[in-house]
Structure 1
Amino acid sequence: MTKLEVSRRKAMAGIGVGAGVLAAPAIVSTAAAQTMNWKMATAWPGGPLMDIGAKAFAEKIAFMTDGRVKVQVFPGGALGNALKVPETVKNGIAEMGHTWMGYDWGADTTTCLLGGYAGSFDTERMLHWLYEDGGVALQRQFRDETAGIVSMPLFIRTAEVFLHSRKAVRTLADMKGLKLRSAGAWLDMAREMGAAPVTTAGGEIYPALERGVIDATEWGTLWENLSPGFYKVAKYLIIPGVHQPTAPFELCVNKAAWAKLSERDQKMVEATAKLVTFESWTRIGQEDAKSLEVYKKAGNEIIELAPEVQYETKRVALEWAAKQAATNAWFKKVLDSQLAFEKQWQGADRWRKVMVKEG
């Protein structure tokens, strides 16, 4: 049995489709037999988000549907604005898109809750909330009503690097006036903490950092940030990523294109997106563990943020969220669900983790 065949069986089991379906005779409807040749717009120039996210999905969905759904993946900017992938998909320029929902925070800050922000729980808890406590259904309904697209998670990362910086950043005082590249709600929060944040697409970050247009950037995790090479022009690596404890990414689908899929192939898309999401999490976690040594060998100085910065970040984030909930019904609905989940999991580390001495 090939690796992809194993993946398909695991994915189908994950959405409750039994072996009987997998072993059923190859009798399909006309709709199911029709081949869909789709384009996928992305926000990425390359790297893990492209390779183990968008391209991994395209490879697996072709296999899972026996070639009925074929997806051609395009890099950020090839089919439209890299920061406006959902708009590209809604307008039918591409049938699918892969993006981070938080880029749309200017239209609706609820996207920050679904894409992760400074007040979010960690990735393990986010996965449980999404797939076991109604988060996926809330995301689907929210994007259907507010953006006119079909939406589901695709790819998730562990906590990000706080900054790759040309300047040492340890304390709140070090944040003052810092020109940093960011995105989503962290733009507002970083500004409140004294920084001077700006946003830009991924492909523009390295030259801006190299030329000193910005002092620092956040982007992804330890492993993800190796490929763009920020560490080559910024000697300080600041951890942990309190601004982004988790980051689920989004697969968005044009509604008219989605309606053309058979019910079976719709379920295959959902199962494949879920499979890629879990595989991205385990892959990134393992690669992160190996990557810190690369930065050390490259001469980067590893700085751990002072507790005052970590505590202040959480305080500012929760205060920001409370303000959004007061005026945004959808934000309140999602936030209430996440806070109820967090309360249910309160103290979970006592029975889920065992203290070990490192070193």
Structure 2
Amino acid sequence: MKYAKISAFSAICAGLMAGAGAVSAQNLTLSTGLGQPHMWVAHHMEPFAEAMESKTNGEVTFTKYYGGELSAVGRELDSLNSGVIDVAAPLLAPYHEGRFPLSDITQLPTYGTTSPMVTRAFQGLLDSDVEIAPGKTFYSYEIGDKGIHVWAIGATAPYSISTTSKVLKEPADFTGTLLRAGSALHTIVLGNLGATPVTLPGPQAYEALSRKTIDGIIIAISDWPSYSIQELLRHSIVDVSIGHWESYLAISDAAWGNLSPEHQKQFDETAREVALTNAEKWESNLVEVRQKSEAEDGGSFVSVKDLSPEMQAHMDKAARQSWIDWIEKTEAAGHPAKATAKLYAQLIMAEGGALPDGVGDYLGLN
């Protein structure tokens, strides 16, 4: 009888322990709208999932979906809020028209910036307690009411202007040149340069370039292999960043609330760590792609510093005006763009990056 009581008690304890394990263990649906070779998939999404599964000893696992199988680019927020997915890697904010009005700020032109610098600055923007509007930080204004938790992913390497055959040497060379823009902010920059922007998502770039329906593209050189365009592009202007593309690793509030406090801490730590290793990969890949282009495809990479004084002045003026145009357009739509730009500019300068001439004065930083 005593043995029976002990056995029954042991069975109850085992059942409670099993129940506790079931509550703490989580399998999360992890989705990307991008293909598996993309830098944000192969070198961010995959390492993040592996690191989380390892850190949690398999208590947090992921079921992965690629290439828009569950949620296409630009649909990530709706999919997170509806419960179709638990984690978006990445949530591409610039493709959610009007829903993340300040998140494309990293696409503003800068000088001397790298992927790690911009990644740290953008995460700093998310972490900042500086108010950009009454009672609102950047995070609370941009993310707070959207039902998600987010972190910066590794920013792309600097966006450069690259063409297939046309060489851009002087300001007049931009006139009539059809260049792919990947975002609304890119169209502002290209317009100020005097080029004709053609808005296209990255996967359509190969066909447009190969058919010569566009003359070139604004994109990170390290991203050329993601779209198989490295053999098409011959001439690039470097050492001036047409911004960096940033986006978010995002988890729904519902999925976040189901994680234990320990797993939430591990998720936060892992997101920050992997973003920076991803950023380093963007930079190393930039060197590799450039070297291969020069050696095998006749690629030419000309520093903006080696262009004529007229061309340098033209590009700097366009960069400065693009900050002003984006700020004034976004402010007119009712969003605190100037306060956000001022904070971001301070973070970029603290990282060692530089602003186009006149931007600091416009923002009241000098």
The match for 1:52 is 43
Letter aligned with residue 205 of structure 2: I
The match for 1:264 is 262
Superimposed CA distance per residue, residues 7-46 of structure 1 (whole angstroms, 9 cap, x where no aligned partner): xxxxxxxxxxxxxxxxxxx999657622223232334463
- Kindly indicate whether residue 125 of structure 2 is the aligned counterpart of residue 102 of structure 1: no
- Kindly indicate whether residue 70 of structure 2 is the aligned counterpart of residue 79 of structure 1: yes
> Using the alignment, how far apart are the partners of 1:206 and 1:69 within structure 2?
38
CA offset at residue 180 of structure 1? Answer: 1.9
Please give the root-mean-square deviation of Cα atoms over the aligned residues, in Å: 3.2
User: Contact 2:74–2:95 at 8 Å: present in 1 too?
Assistant: yes
* Unaligned segments of structure 2, at least 5 residues: 1-16, 130-136, 355-366
Residue 280 and residue 172 in structure 1: after superposition, are their counterparts in 2 closer, same or farther (change >3 A)?
Answer: same
The match for 1:145 is 144
Residue 209 and residue 85 in structure 1: after superposition, are their counterparts in 2 closer, same or farther (change >3 A)?
Answer: farther
Residue 233 and residue 128 in structure 1: after superposition, are their counterparts in 2 closer, same or farther (change >3 A)?
Answer: closer
User: Contact 1:161–1:219 at 8 Å: present in 2 too?
Assistant: yes
Superimposed CA distance per residue, residues 145-180 of structure 1 (whole angstroms, 9 cap, x where no aligned partner): 354322111222332332243422233322222222
- Match of residue 121, structure 2, among 105, 125, 129: 129
CA offset at residue 86 of structure 1? Answer: 2.6
CA offset at residue 105 of structure 1? Answer: 5.4
> Using the alignment, how far apart are the partners of 1:347 and 1:254 within structure 2?
33
Q: Percent identity?
A: 16
The match for 1:279 is 277
- So what's the TM-score if we normalise by structure 2? 0.75
The match for 2:188 is 188
User: Contact 2:93–2:103 at 8 Å: present in 1 too?
Assistant: yes
State which structure, 1 or 2, has the greater radius of gyration over its C-alpha atoms: 2
> Using the alignment, how far apart are the partners of 1:264 and 1:118 within structure 2?
39
Aligned residue pair count: 320
SS of equivalent residue, structure 2 residue 206: helix
Residue 35 and residue 294 in structure 1: after superposition, are their counterparts in 2 closer, same or farther (change >3 A)?
Answer: same
> Using the alignment, how far apart are the partners of 1:331 and 1:30 within structure 2?
46
The match for 1:202 is 202
User: Contact 2:208–2:214 at 8 Å: present in 1 too?
Assistant: yes
CA offset at residue 67 of structure 1? Answer: 1.7
> Using the alignment, how far apart are the partners of 1:242 and 1:64 within structure 2?
36
SS of equivalent residue, structure 1 residue 289: helix
Residue 300 and residue 100 in structure 1: after superposition, are their counterparts in 2 closer, same or farther (change >3 A)?
Answer: same
- Kindly indicate whether residue 338 of structure 2 is the aligned counterpart of residue 338 of structure 1: no
Moved more, 198-207 or 251-260: 198-207
Letter aligned with residue 109 of structure 1: P
CA offset at residue 256 of structure 1? Answer: 1.4
SS of equivalent residue, structure 1 residue 77: coil
Letter aligned with residue 175 of structure 2: K
User: Contact 1:89–1:254 at 8 Å: present in 2 too?
Assistant: yes
Residue 218 and residue 79 in structure 1: after superposition, are their counterparts in 2 closer, same or farther (change >3 A)?
Answer: farther
- Kindly indicate whether residue 258 of structure 2 is the aligned counterpart of residue 243 of structure 1: no
Letter aligned with residue 51 of structure 1: A
> Using the alignment, how far apart are the partners of 1:119 and 1:347 within structure 2?
7
> Using the alignment, how far apart are the partners of 2:126 and 2:149 within structure 1?
16
